[in-house]
């Protein structure tokens, strides 16, 4: 007899475009850092919807903010003003620096805004190219896949959008300098490469890029879609990377994109652009019907309020230390499976041993094999590339939940070790 899960999967296979490789898990509901499947099995969700559910699932204050705002108004379009969008922009500006914000619906769309900003910026001098990094990820729109420094996302979608064919090795300043041409308008990087396997930018790289962009009159743009919004323990990852670094206190990129955790799971994205570039995109130059609507903004304001009142930036750092210590110990105990841990805050990557054979499974990469092993033990994670499994838990995860997670990861590692 077909289970409820079988029926749901069957409906997907019949009616949903099969563009995703999904794990074999049909989710019914969530609470805090936990999800339950249709069979009643509980999972500790250390993927948090790929770094989105900053406060876990069904947070009562988020539910209440949604309910209250939905009763007043859900949508009005950007033909009119409403209080929430201005307040949210003000909150973001106060956390990054003098400038202005534009709101979209997703990360890819936030980055589209950055590409248009760069094109407008370079337009009068005939410059339109944007340099991006190898192994970067900037979203799945046509310009997003052109910007992304990974071949696999572009396959079969050529001709690619022009102006992005310059991918530089990450953290290599000399390569950035060498890549600049008379057509270059901007450089775009992630503060911590996420899909590329959790690779933080070095302080020297960020400071060097800033100097280079100043000297060559280029915009320095940062994609903080995954690594931003307190995931590293600071609002933006570059603030965390440059904290306590001499000569870095006045570092600012020219533009920053964000999404994912911004409204804790309600779709919202956006970008911040610094003065004096904040009016480059004037009336009629850029728009979206839904972006920054009353409902999304009310939730996003509540997310920021909770992050502040519950000192979650501090929690991120404390829980990060616990995870790192625990995972490092596990790497020592299960070297056939686990090789190391890297990352910042609650954006962690477990690198897997792909040579021992312990994670070689029917043609699937080790990252998928181990993600499945974790799922069997009741913990959800997110693979990156072939050899990294990401942990991107809610920012309000507790010590007990981290310990529970480490226990489950140990079980999966022990079982995979053979
Ligand atoms: C760094 C980065 N930029 C952009 C995106 C695209 O965001 P979205 O999926 O919301 O379009 C992602 C998504 O994973 C991302 O990690």
The number of the ligand 1 atom at minimal distance from the alpha carbon of 139 is 6
Query: How many angstroms from the chain centroid is the CA of residue 367?
Result: 18
Mean pLDDT of 61-80: 98
The number of the ligand 1 atom at minimal distance from the alpha carbon of 195 is 16
pLDDT score of 374 more than 80: yes
CA of 418 to the centre of ligand 1 (A): 36
Q: Which residues contact 261 (CB under 8 A, 6 or more apart)?
A: 51, 52, 53, 54, 228, 229, 230, 231, 303, 395
The CB of 223 under 6 Å from ligand 1? The reply is: yes
Cα dihedral 232, 238, 244, 246, rounded to 10, equals: 160
Mean pLDDT of 348-370: 94
pLDDT score of 401 more than 80: yes
Give the per-residue pLDDT at 418.
Answer: 84
CA atoms of 327 and 181, how far apart (whole Å): 44
CA of 108 to the centre of ligand 1 (A): 6
The CB of 139 under 6 Å from ligand 1? The reply is: yes
Tell how strand 338-344 and strand 269-274 pair up. Answer: unpaired
Contact between 396 and 314 (Cβ < 8 Å):
no
DSSP 207: H
Domains and CATH numbers, the chain: 4-58+311-417 (3.90.1150.10), 73-309 (3.40.640.10)
User: Both tokens of residue 328?
Assistant: 């490092």
Instruction: Tell me whether residue 210 is exposed, middle or buried, using C-beta atoms within 10 angstroms of its C-beta: 0 to 12, 13 to 18, 19 or more.
Output: buried
The CB of 225 under 6 Å from ligand 1? The reply is: yes
Contact between 95 and 73 (Cβ < 8 Å):
no
The number of the ligand 1 atom at minimal distance from the alpha carbon of 259 is 10
The residue to which tokens 């876990």 are assigned: 56
CA of 356 to the centre of ligand 1 (A): 32
- Of 247 and 163, the structure prediction assigns the larger pLDDT to 163
Instruction: Tell me whether residue 414 is exposed, middle or buried, using C-beta atoms within 10 angstroms of its C-beta: 0 to 12, 13 to 18, 19 or more.
Output: middle
405 prior amide bond cis, ω within 30:
no
Tens digit of each residue's pLDDT (9 = 90 or more) over 270-324: 999 999 999 999 999 999 999 999 999 999 999 999 999 999 999 999 999 999 9
Mean pLDDT of 246-257: 96
CA atoms of 253 and 237, how far apart (whole Å): 12
The number of the ligand 1 atom at minimal distance from the alpha carbon of 190 is 1
Cα distances (Å, whole numbers) of residue 256 to 115, 156, 186, 205, 269: 11, 30, 12, 17, 11
The CB of 259 under 6 Å from ligand 1? The reply is: yes
Give the per-residue pLDDT at 361.
Answer: 78
CA of 335 to the centre of ligand 1 (A): 32
Q: Which of 2, 65, 3, 53 is nearest to 29 (CA)?
A: 53
Give the per-residue pLDDT at 271.
Answer: 98
Give the per-residue pLDDT at 188.
Answer: 98
Rounded mean pLDDT of the chain?
97
CA of 255 to the centre of ligand 1 (A): 16
**Which residue owns the Cα nearest ligand 1 atom 16?**
226
CA atoms of 257 and 101, how far apart (whole Å): 9
CA of 7 to the centre of ligand 1 (A): 30
Give the per-residue pLDDT at 363.
Answer: 87
Tens digit of each residue's pLDDT (9 = 90 or more) over 17-34: 999 999 999 999 999 999
Residue 167 in 3-state DSSP? strand
CA atoms of 118 and 273, how far apart (whole Å): 11
The CB of 138 under 6 Å from ligand 1? The reply is: yes
Give the per-residue pLDDT at 236.
Answer: 98
The CB of 106 under 6 Å from ligand 1? The reply is: yes
For the chain, how big is the Rg over CA atoms in Å? 21
Type and span of the H or E element at 107: helix 107-123
The CB of 195 under 6 Å from ligand 1? The reply is: yes
Give pTM, 2 decimals: 0.98
Tens digit of each residue's pLDDT (9 = 90 or more) over 120-167: 999 999 999 999 999 999 999 999 999 999 999 999 999 999 999 899
pLDDT tier for residue 53 given thresholds of 50, 70 and 90: very high
**Which residue owns the Cα nearest ligand 1 atom 3?**
138
**Which residue owns the Cα nearest ligand 1 atom 13?**
139
pLDDT score of 1 more than 80: no
CA of 260 to the centre of ligand 1 (A): 7
The CB of 372 under 6 Å from ligand 1? The reply is: no
pLDDT score of 43 more than 80: yes
The string of DSSP codes covering 291-306 is: TT-HHHHHHHHHHHHH
Tens digit of each residue's pLDDT (9 = 90 or more) over 165-205: 899 999 999 999 999 999 999 999 999 999 999 999 999 99
Give the per-residue pLDDT at 180.
Answer: 98
Type and span of the H or E element at 47: none
Q: Which of 142, 17, 100, 21 is nearest to 272 (CA)?
A: 100
Residue 346 in 3-state DSSP? coil
pLDDT score of 38 more than 90: yes
pLDDT score of 350 more than 80: yes
Give the per-residue pLDDT at 137.
Answer: 98
Contact between 195 and 108 (Cβ < 8 Å):
no
């Amino acid at each position: 007899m077909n289970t409820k899960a079988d029926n749901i999967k069957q409906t997907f296979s019949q009616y949903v475009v099969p563009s995703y490789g999904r794990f074999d898990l049909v989710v019914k509901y969530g609470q805090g850092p936990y999800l339950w499947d249709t069979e009643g099995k509980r999972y500790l969700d250390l993927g948090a919807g790929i770094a989105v559910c900053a406060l876990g699932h069904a947070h009562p204050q988020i539910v209440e903010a949604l309910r209250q705002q939905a009763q007043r108004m859900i949508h009005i379009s950007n033909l009119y003003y409403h209080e929430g969008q201005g307040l949210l922009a003000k909150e973001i500006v106060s956390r990054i620096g003098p400038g202005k914000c534009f709101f979209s619906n997703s990360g890819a769309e936030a980055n589209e805004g950055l590409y248009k900003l760069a094109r407008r910026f370079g337009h009068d001098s005939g410059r339109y190219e944007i340099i991006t990094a190898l192994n970067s990820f900037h979203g799945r729109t046509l310009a997003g896949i052109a910007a992304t420094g990974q071949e696999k996302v572009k396959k079969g979608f050529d001709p690619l959008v022009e102006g992005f064919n310059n991918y530089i090795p990450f953290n290599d300043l000399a390569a950035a300098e060498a890549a600049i041409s008379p057509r270059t308008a901007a450089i775009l990087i992630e503060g911590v490469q996420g899909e590329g396997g959790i690779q933080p930018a070095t302080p020297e790289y960020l400071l060097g890029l800033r100097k280079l962009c100043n000297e060559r009159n280029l915009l320095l743009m940062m994609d903080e879609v995954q690594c931003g919004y307190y995931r590293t323990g600071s609002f933006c990852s570059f603030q965390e990377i440059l904290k306590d670094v001499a000569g870095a206190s006045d570092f600012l990129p020219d533009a920053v994109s964000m999404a994912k955790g911004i409204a804790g799971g309600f779709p919202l994205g956006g970008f911040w652009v610094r003065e004096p570039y904040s009016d480059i995109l004037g009336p009629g130059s850029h728009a979206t019907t839904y972006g920054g609507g009353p409902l999304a903004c009310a939730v996003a304001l509540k997310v920021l309020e909770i992050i502040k009142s519950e000192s979650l930036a501090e929690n991120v750092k404390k829980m990060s230390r616990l995870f790192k210590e625990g995972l490092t110990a596990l790497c020592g105990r299960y070297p056939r499976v686990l090789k190391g841990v890297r990352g910042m805050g609650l954006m962690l990557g477990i690198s897997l041993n792909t040579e021992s054979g312990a994670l070689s499974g029917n043609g699937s990469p080790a990252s998928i094999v181990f993600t499945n092993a974790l799922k069997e033990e009741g913990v959800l994670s997110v693979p990156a590339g072939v050899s990294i499994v990401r942990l991107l838990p809610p920012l309000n995860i507790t010590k007990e939940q981290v310990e529970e997670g480490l226990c489950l990861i140990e079980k999966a590692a022990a079982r995979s070790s053979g």
